[in-house]
Amino acid sequence: MGFLEGKTAEEKVLGGTVFPKVLHPSCTDESGTGFQVFSPEDFARVVESFKWDEMCYMGATTRVKVAHRVHTANEAPLHQLINFHHEMSLLKEFPSKIFFFCSVPSPEGGETSIVPSHIILEKMEERVPEFVRRLSETGCIFSFKTPKEEDSGAVVSKTWKTLLQTDDQVEAENRARAMIACDSVVFNQDGSAEFIFGPMNPIKELEGKRVWFRTILSYTGNERDVEVSFSDGSPFPVEATNAYKSILEENCVDLSWQKGDILLVDNLSVQHARRPGKPPRVILVSICK
Ligand SMILES: [Fe+2]
């Protein structure tokens, strides 16, 4: 079976390129579904065919394994937004590719949204050049909180003990520095913890392309989940944060899922988000080194 280039209603022309590229099977079966990818095991075979090495997920959200190298994308309640991010971008090692697969579409909403990160950077340099210059020169401090107990109702669901697989605070901090690339951890009396990163530059050059790699927003849309400031502790100008939010919304493509769809995201150059949706939406994921 070959591929034919197709179109999706939501696609955009960004930086002179149609985004994203859409491929259909060159022949469809009687049901019209073409690729005949229905089960997690079918999806695993598609992923394996690319011959990229599997990467273990080390993030703070809950994923459930459903097949060889295939997990649920996120167990957080479907009504919650998962804001734009690069997968595992706060970790020392992050996947280069992410495969998503639609097992059950959302009856309403639940799109996966994608946006090229070099476009975010270009537009930020146009709209708030002074902010980008200061960020690049002095960096920012970013911190996020893990909950006091396992919280299946949250996007960041794991406690520091689960995330780092130890009950010992000294060992946890060692592991956090080694794996998560954070600069310090504050362990709170109530069991929660704050992981602090920086000063760091959220802009990175990856494979010759400058991209906005680390988010300056909350993962959930709830601003209290994270704290971001310049390295001297001064807050970001509201106009810069608003420009970042507007640029995401103006340049993203919301992809409505149909059962059997597969999305391959280049995690070095594209951010992704989950729009609020409704049960029984099931999107599966597989990440590659
Ligand atoms: Fe993600």
Q: Give tens-digit pLDDT for 86-143.
A: 999 999 999 999 999 999 999 999 999 999 999 999 999 999 999 999 999 999 999 9
State the Cα–Cα distance between residues 165 and 159, nearest whole angstrom.
Answer: 10
**Separation of 24 CA from ligand 1 center, angstroms?**
25
- 122 by DSSP, 3-state: which? helix
**Separation of 257 CA from ligand 1 center, angstroms?**
16
**Separation of 281 CA from ligand 1 center, angstroms?**
16
**Separation of 82 CA from ligand 1 center, angstroms?**
8
Q: How confident is the model at residue 26 (pLDDT cuts 50, 70, 90)?
A: confident
Q: How confident is the model at residue 155 (pLDDT cuts 50, 70, 90)?
A: confident
Are 211 and 118 in contact by the 8 Å Cβ rule? The answer is yes
**Separation of 217 CA from ligand 1 center, angstroms?**
14
**Separation of 223 CA from ligand 1 center, angstroms?**
18
- Tell me: the pLDDT tens digits for 29-52? 555 556 788 899 999 999 999 999
**Separation of 203 CA from ligand 1 center, angstroms?**
18
Q: How confident is the model at residue 203 (pLDDT cuts 50, 70, 90)?
A: very high
For the chain, what is the mean pLDDT?
Answer: 93
Task: For strands 140-146 and 226-230, give the pairing.
Answer: antiparallel
**Separation of 265 CA from ligand 1 center, angstroms?**
10
**Separation of 1 CA from ligand 1 center, angstroms?**
30
Are 274 and 73 in contact by the 8 Å Cβ rule? The answer is yes
**Separation of 262 CA from ligand 1 center, angstroms?**
15
Q: Is the pLDDT of residue 237 over 90?
A: yes
Tokens of 54: 């599997």
**Separation of 87 CA from ligand 1 center, angstroms?**
5
Are 158 and 149 in contact by the 8 Å Cβ rule? The answer is no
**Separation of 28 CA from ligand 1 center, angstroms?**
31
**Separation of 27 CA from ligand 1 center, angstroms?**
32
pTM equals 0.93
**Separation of 272 CA from ligand 1 center, angstroms?**
6
**Separation of 246 CA from ligand 1 center, angstroms?**
20
Q: Supply the pLDDT for residue 30.
A: 54
Q: Supply the pLDDT for residue 115.
A: 98
Helices (runs of H) and strands (runs of E) counted in the chain: 6, 19
Q: Mean pLDDT over residues 62-72, rounded? A: 94
Q: Supply the pLDDT for residue 219.
A: 85
Residue with tokens 């999806």: 43
State the Cα–Cα distance between residues 269 and 39, nearest whole angstrom.
Answer: 28
State the Cα–Cα distance between residues 127 and 104, nearest whole angstrom.
Answer: 39
Are 141 and 231 in contact by the 8 Å Cβ rule? The answer is yes
